[in-house]
Amino acid sequence: MHIRDITARARRAGPRTVDLLIALLVQAAMTMPFVVPRAPELPEATWTAYGLTSLTVLPLVARRRAPVAVLVAVLAASGLYKFAVDGPGQPLPYTGLVACYTVAELSSPPKRIGVAVLTALGILVSVGLDGEALRELLFSLFVFAAAYAFGRLAVTRKAYLRAVEDRARQLELTHRIEAEQAAARERARIAREMHDILSHAVSLMIVQAEAGPVAVRTAPERAEGAFDAISAAGRDAMAQLRTMLGVLRENEGAPDAPREPQPALSGLPGLVERVRATGPAVSYEVTGHARPPGLAVEATVYRIVQEALTNVVRHADATAVRVRLDHGPDALTLTVTDDGRGPGGGAGLGLTGIRERATAHGGTARTGPGPDGRGFRVGVTIPRAAPETQAGRRTGAGQ
């Protein structure tokens, strides 16, 4: 069994059990001089001497509850053994060292200073009365100083371990919060995507369905186009929903999982054409030097145009809509203007989603009345990222 396993089991056993085990271990060490063969000229190992030896060990059981009192008791019992009994000596003052270590670990600074002075005086008196040489004195001072130093090191180690554990708990809490925030952001993103896809498709289908009966009575040839537009809008919505749900599937490695790309700027003419088929005259204009802004930005611009045109179809009752995309040197600017009556009294999820999408790329979104107070205007500006950032985004999006 490894020492680490023994230490872990001792910690689980509790402080009192650990103190009892330490006392038994010290007792076993101090019993050695009484059981090993001895030379005839050495003091005799008697039961009285062994009893006093055990008396010096007994206070260690309570060493955590009263460290200073235990040390005094140990020193007193050791002095009694030294002066009252002519028994076997010990190679090291085990009980005194354990008691000194405990005081250094658990006592306050004033008590530690007092104990250090008391212990040093006790060593000087003991060695002086014994008539030993300077070497014995230095050795005794050294081993007690080492016990004291190990006690202080134990305090430092415990403080370090507590700091590490606190840091680990803080990091775990931070990671949990970040994971929850990331999940919340992803839920919001999915909600925006679902809103944009369904709102746009359903709005086109409603407009065409409402115009269908009229077209059947007045212009049957237009009714077929209305039904085709409803079918196309439904198929497009289903395809986009399958793409999104495929990303959410747990089994992403399934061979039948959809892998269609996210919408891009190249899909805007088709989007405009589908809305144009519902009635309003929609124009699409691109100005400036076209530079790929990155797949994420392209998908965002597409969704913003989709939401703006959906609002036009649902709320504006407009006859003309202008979509203008300007590739500036520092920013990509999108403007959607109509001649209708605006989105109504509330901002709704659509306009909120437009602002959130623009903000996600460091851009801004402005909504309000159109030129001369007529109609409604959606203006979005997204700054261009540095070339290396764009490359990184394109690489990440393609993985």
* Residue 323 dihedral angles phi and psi, to the nearest 5°: -110, 120
What's the pLDDT at 293? Answer: 85
Question: Would residue 394 count as lying in a domain?
Answer: yes
In a domain, 249, yes or no: no
Last residue of a domain, one of 114, 132, 150: 132
Place of tokens 């809305």: 275
Question: Is residue 329 a part of any domain in this protein?
Answer: yes
Query: Does 199 reside within a domain?
Result: no
Q: How many domains does the chain have?
A: 2
Angle of CA points 102, 105, 107, to nearest 5°: 85
177 part of a folded domain: no
What's the confidence (pLDDT) of residue 216?
A: 65
Model pLDDT, residue 240:
67
**Token output for 148:** 């004291």
In a domain, 204, yes or no: no
Work out whether strand 376-383 and strand 364-369 pair parallel, antiparallel, or are unpaired.
Answer: antiparallel
Chosen domain end from 70, 97, 132: 132
- What pLDDT does residue 57 have? 86
Q: Which residues contact 174 (CB under 8 A, 6 or more apart)?
A: none
Query: Which residue has 């600074």 as its token pair?
Result: 109
Q: Please give the chain's pLDDT, 399 residues, in tens.
A: 455 565 566 556 677 788 888 888 888 888 887 777 766 766 677 787 788 888 888 888 888 888 888 888 887 887 777 767 776 777 778 888 888 888 888 888 888 888 888 877 777 776 665 555 677 778 878 888 888 888 889 888 988 999 999 898 888 888 888 888 877 777 777 777 777 767 767 777 777 676 667 666 666 666 666 677 777 777 777 766 666 666 555 444 444 444 445 788 888 998 888 888 777 889 999 998 888 888 888 888 998 998 888 888 877 778 899 999 999 988 999 999 998 876 655 445 578 888 888 888 889 999 888 887 888 999 999 998 744 344 344 434 433
CATH number of the domain that 297 lies in?
3.30.565.10
Full domain range(s) for residue 84: 3-132
Cβ atoms of 93 and 81 within 8 Å: the answer is no
Last residue of a domain, one of 77, 106, 132: 132
Could you tell me if residue 168 is inside a domain?
Answer: no
How large is the C-alpha radius of gyration of the chain? 43
- 325, 301 contact by CB (below 8 A): yes
Q: Any idea what DSSP says for residue 318?
A: -
Is 224 among the domain residues?
no
Strand order in the sheet with 331-338: 281-288, 320-327, 331-338, 376-383, 364-369
